[in-house]
Amino acid sequence: MRKSTTRGTMRRNRVWISGLFLALTWMASMSLAQSPPAKVLAYPQLILHNGKILTVDENFAIVQAVAVRDGLFLEVGTNREVLPLTGPDTRVIDLQGRSVVPGFIDTHLHGAWAGNISKRGVKNLRFETVEKGLDEIREELVKHAAGEWVVFSGLRNNVTVSVLTRSDLDRAAPSHPIRIMLDTAMSVVNSKGWEEIRSKIEGLAGVKLDPKTGEPNGHIRGQANGVLLYEDIVWPADWETSLVERQKETFRRLNSQGLTTNIGRAQGLSISILRKLWKQNELTLRVRPSIEFIMYNPEANSYLKRLGNLTGFGDGWFKIIGLTVGPPDGVGSRGGQLTRIDRKRDIVDPGGPAFNMIGENKWAMSSSDGSWDTAGTEYETVLIANRYGWSVQSVHAQGDLAAKMMLDAIEEANQDRPTKGRNFGFDHGVMRSEEDIKRAIDLGVTMSFAAKYLFAGSPDDLIWQFGEDVHRFTPVKTAIDLGLKPVLESDTGGYRSASLWNIEGLVTRTDENGRMWGSREAISRENALRMRTAWAAYYSSDQDVLGTIEEGKFGDLVVLGGDYLTVPADELAEIPIDFTIVGGKIVYDRARDGLIEMGTSFSFAN
């Protein structure tokens, strides 16, 4: 009896254990059914395999294949890891050994926004001398009725900046209000023009006075000029059609150069155009505007109080990254770079460059004791912007003294509200001292550099001013060696806005005439690629989602028609772009779209 009972108990235990096992198995299968691995939720829309994919991650890993699903990188690895994810509708591209790089990011590209102020249709005056310039004005005014406003564009030279006055202009235009736009920070008006605008700007910083009479001399700078520049803009009545289409065409051209994200300062009309494309899901590259709405704005504090902080507003396609302010200095071709570096000559010849041995300071006037008075300038605007939580970037600053002023403003702002980690940055990097590079690192400030200043005519002009010191300009290798992660901008147009052209420039430091500029500042092609991808993503605080080919990041990449790592350095710019892919969508296919003419829609403005 006892043995039988034991056997029964053992049988019942086996049944109970089997039931428990089946229950646990069923529960496990239900759990798997309800929470399957992410990688089997859906098939990827795109797979690229059998290539040389440069992830540009922290280790600069090179892999064979990548899968993109729902706009994000799903898998990055070997052919064996990626190809099994192929579904019935997955587009599979055999790279046949070609290189793939992350989508290119440009941090300063003029002409990319269709709604920014343009001088199209405005008569350009050379003003080689006062009298020659007045004759140019008289010739144009015969086409306009008396009393009609006439706006000109003028070459910034010693005549227009330092000699010309409104009384001179009165001799050519006694019956017309006229204004000559020299740049975004500077205009000259005649007496009739002054009477028309004085109620808008009288008393603002930037209305220049004759030292003898105390009366306005016709020169309008800074905030006063900003009121005229921005608030007198007339938006085209058909902007929602004509300018939107122009913007789409511009983006199509940029896509053909491998561009997937553009960063840059944008005016109100451009923001409206970009927003329209964003809402209609018609953007073909990611846009990161830095808004100009308080640039040269005497009411910056009031505007920011009313609006609040929009830094970071948007999504992966459209995101406001902050705001921008007017530049602390001018451009090198006019002697406007504000610098400690000694110029070899005083460039004030009539009709020639406009400024003195130190360059142009747009933020301040020099006092008798050598200090700078920044009251009512863009220096203060940086402090105001930071106070309300905005980040500041996309600021023109070519010279090393201009960089110092920008860093001084950020450092002072940082005492009120920490700036580090909030993508403060400024551009061009022609002249940068080691001291200021180290300050930028400490403050978390990004510096943007351009190959443009090694080419495009700049070296000849700069060597005329600075002699052999030009070989120390655009010190990218120095910046990297000191620990900075600099970024690579274009700041130019046509074929010179292409990422590979700019990369080749910094790798070879050799211009299109075969001349080498500052060979000691040449960098590796790996670091040049980082500047245009991984490091560039920091400029817009996108480092967690852009800039590298890693799982979970946006699926932006460029398929090159060659091997990026082995092609001779002086042939990098000649590597064709076969595909440009944004969020897994092919926005440019060379076989489908052919070579796209870049045209002349870009400017070489500062």
Mean pLDDT to the nearest integer, 577-590: 98
Q: What are phi and psi of 36, to 5 degrees?
A: -70, 160
Q: Is the torsion defined by CA of 122, 127, 132, 133 positive or negative?
A: positive
Mean pLDDT for 397-421 is 95
Burial class (CB in 10 A: 0-12, 13-18, 19+), 211: exposed
Please, which pLDDT band fits residue 1 given cuts at 50, 70 and 90? very low
Note the pLDDT of residue 452.
87
Using the predicted structure, report yes or no on whether residue 604 has a pLDDT greater than 50.
no
Report the alpha-carbon distance of residue 580 to residue 583 in Å, rounded.
Answer: 10
Give pLDDT tens digits for 61-102: 999 999 999 999 999 999 999 999 999 999 999 999 999 999
- Alpha-carbon gap, residue 410 to 237, rounded angstroms: 39
Highest mean pLDDT among 150-159, 221-230, 577-586: 577-586
What is the overall mean pLDDT for the chain? Answer: 89
DSSP letter for each residue of 429-459: -SS--HHHHHHHHHHT-EEEEEGGGGSTTHH
8 Å CB contact between 48 and 93: yes
pLDDT for res 184: 86
pLDDT at residue 511, rounded to an integer: 85
Q: Which residue has the tokens 């006019």?
A: 334
pLDDT, position 512: 80
Cα 538 from Cα 484, distance rounded (Å): 12
pLDDT at 190: 97
Q: Is the pLDDT of residue 143 over 80?
A: yes
pLDDT band at 369 (very low <50, low <70, confident <90, very high): very low
**Tens-place pLDDT, residues 420-452:** 999 999 999 999 999 999 999 999 999 999 998
Lowest mean pLDDT among 47-51, 122-126, 186-190, 237-241: 122-126
User: Per residue in 321-339, pLDDT tens?
Assistant: 999 999 999 887 667 889 9
Residue 117 pLDDT? 76
What digits encode the pLDDT tens for the residues 522-571? 999 999 999 999 999 999 999 999 999 999 999 999 999 999 999 999 99
pLDDT in tens, 270-282: 999 999 999 999 9
Residue 605: what pLDDT?
Answer: 36
Q: What is the mean pLDDT of residues 405-425?
A: 96
- Average pLDDT, stretch 145-151? 94
Residue 592 CA to residue 90 CA, distance in Å, equals 19
**Region class of 456: left (phi > 0), else alpha (psi between -120 and 50), else beta:** left
End-to-end Cα distance, the chain: 103
pLDDT tens-digit profile of 55-64? 999 999 999 9
Q: What is the pLDDT of residue 407?
A: 97
